[in-house]
């Protein structure tokens, strides 16, 4: 199997062990899942399906960021307890993902479940000289980790721009270097707070994924990823804090998924141009939405058009009209396409061709998670 690896910047041979450990960065449950989320989790789903088809066991962990600025701000705005908001949105998210036919994840741990692991990781970073206390917070010292930037391969000005865009506060006067990032921070009076040796507070954003990945899957994981907008700062910071403390490689293979756009702009909460999965599921059958997403290669950015779901509905009808029965040609075609950097658009084209020739396609569709 060949798969693009972000760290190496090219499609490389992917040689998975018998049990493949995977960690996919999950949601902050303060709003409904949009198509960008669905595209990410569907990619990890299709990868798992092919690995299982090849006889591997997969353990895919997807965290839930149930404490951060976004969820605390939204809970404040709505006047509700932040964990009640999280519970409601997580239930909605799980229902949407299961409607799309996603395999259940191995574990879906919450950031608030990992406070002891987070505290011990921060403690280890301080003891080994990779972190420092300042102004009531604990920061990771990027100058202590010579490989900072190896994953994203960005120049410093671009790193600073992205850090600022993602809430990294490069102008925080307590930092030694504007790229240093928060591991532990004091909570505001109305925010949740946990006791620590550095004073009461709450974790920074990046530390939860390192702590949860190590707790659930060990020091080195086979596949890690998420949306491409997480490469920097989130994943770069995860690598730094993990490898600085453990001395082990954190991730063998990085998988990042392209962004979904609407009217030429990235779909994002802050821009308010979201297409929610739940809304689409009211209008189209779940397998049509799944097929519409599979029609785009996971690595490329693409623009959502309503016509995609209509075309996918028509495609489903054509495939359903194909004869039932064993379909070795369809299965072989889909396997070959998936082994070529998860080429789902190619797989759909092959199945179209076979269906048009009156051959069975349902086994090939099933490997893509599309139930006919």
Minimum CB distance to Zn ion, residue 13 (Å): 26
Q: Which of residues 338-357 bind Zn ion (CB under 5 A)?
A: none
Q: Total residues contacting Zn ion (rule CB under 5 A)?
A: 2
| Interface with Zn ion (CB under 5 A), residue from 25, 42, 257, 361 | 25
Calculate the CA dihedral of residues 132, 134, 138, 144 and round it to 10 degrees. -30
Q: Is 179 in the site for Zn ion (CB under 5 A)?
A: no
Q: Is 213 in the site for Zn ion (CB under 5 A)?
A: no
Minimum CB distance to Zn ion, residue 61 (Å): 10
Q: How many CA atoms lie within 13 A of 9 on its CB side?
A: 5
Q: How many CA atoms lie within 13 A of 19 on its CB side?
A: 8
Residue from 137, 116, 229, 225 nearest 180 by CA: 137
Would strands 57-62 and 19-24 be described as parallel, antiparallel, or unpaired?
Answer: parallel
Choose between 207 and 334: whose C-beta lies nearer to Zn ion. 207
Choose between 137 and 210: whose C-beta lies nearer to Zn ion. 210
Choose between 25 and 251: whose C-beta lies nearer to Zn ion. 25
Choose between 205 and 319: whose C-beta lies nearer to Zn ion. 205
Minimum CB distance to Zn ion, residue 353 (Å): 39
Q: Is 209 in the site for Zn ion (CB under 5 A)?
A: yes
Q: Which DSSP state fits 138? A: E
Minimum CB distance to Zn ion, residue 39 (Å): 17
Q: Residue 141 to residues 116, 203, 315: CA-CA distances in angstroms? A: 22, 16, 53
Minimum CB distance to Zn ion, residue 25 (Å): 3
Minimum CB distance to Zn ion, residue 244 (Å): 17
- For residue 59, how far is the Cα from the chain centroid? 15
DSSP 215-260: HHH-SSEEEEEEEGGGIIIIIHHHHHHHHHHH-S--EEEEEEEPPE
Minimum CB distance to Zn ion, residue 209 (Å): 3
What element of type H or E holds 330? helix 328-338
Inter-residue contact 296 to 39 (CB < 8 Å): yes
Structure tokens at 330: 């369809």
- Binding span for Zn ion by CB under 5 A among 23-31, 46-54, 98-106, 255-263: 23-31
Choose between 237 and 370: whose C-beta lies nearer to Zn ion. 237
Choose between 97 and 231: whose C-beta lies nearer to Zn ion. 231
Where on the chain is the footprint of Zn ion (CB under 5 A)? 25, 209
């Amino acid at each position: 199997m060949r798969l693009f690896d972000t760290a190496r910047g090219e499609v490389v041979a992917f040689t998975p062990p018998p049990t493949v450990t995977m960690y996919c960065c999950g949601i902050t449950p303060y709003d409904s899942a949009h198509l960008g989320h669905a595209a990410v989790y569907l990619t990890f789903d299709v990868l798992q399906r092919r690995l299982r088809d090849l006889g591997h066991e997969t353990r895919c962990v997807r965290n839930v960021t149930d404490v951060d600025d976004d969820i605390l701000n939204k809970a404040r705005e709505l006047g509700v307890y932040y964990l009640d908001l999280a519970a409601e949105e997580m239930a909605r998210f799980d229902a949407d993902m299961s409607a799309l036919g996603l395999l259940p994840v191995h574990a879906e741990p919450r950031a608030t479940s990992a406070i002891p692991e987070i505290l011990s990781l921060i403690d280890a970073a301080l003891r080994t000289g990779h972190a420092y206390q300042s102004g009531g917070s604990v920061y990771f010292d990027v100058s202590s980790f010579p490989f900072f930037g190896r994953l994203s391969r960005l120049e410093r000005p671009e790193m600073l721009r992205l850090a600022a865009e993602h809430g990294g506060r490069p102008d925080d006067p307590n930092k030694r270097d504007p790229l240093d990032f928060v591991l532990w921070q004091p909570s505001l009076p109305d925010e949740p707070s946990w006791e620590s040796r550095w004073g009461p507070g709450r974790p920074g954003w990046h530390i939860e994924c390192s702590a949860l990945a190590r707790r659930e899957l060990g020091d080195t994981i086979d596949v890690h990823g998420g949306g491409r907008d997480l490469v920097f700062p989130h994943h770069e910071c995860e690598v730094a804090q993990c490898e600085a403390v453990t001395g082990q490689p954190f991730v063998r293979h990085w998988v990042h998924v392209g962004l979904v756009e609407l009217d030429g702009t990235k779909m994002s909460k802050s821009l308010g141009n979201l297409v929610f999965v739940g809304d689409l599921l009211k209008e189209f059958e779940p397998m049509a939405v799944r097929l519409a997403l599979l029609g785009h290669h996971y690595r490329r950015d693409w623009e959502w058009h309503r016509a995609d779901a209509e075309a996918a509905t028509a495609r489903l009808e054509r495939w359903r009209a194909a004869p039932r029965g064993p379909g070795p040609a369809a299965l072989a075609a889909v396997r070959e396409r998936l082994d070529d950097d998860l080429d789902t658009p190619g797989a759909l084209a092959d199945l179209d061709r076979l269906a048009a020739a009156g051959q069975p396609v349902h086994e090939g569709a099933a490997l893509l998670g599309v139930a006919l």
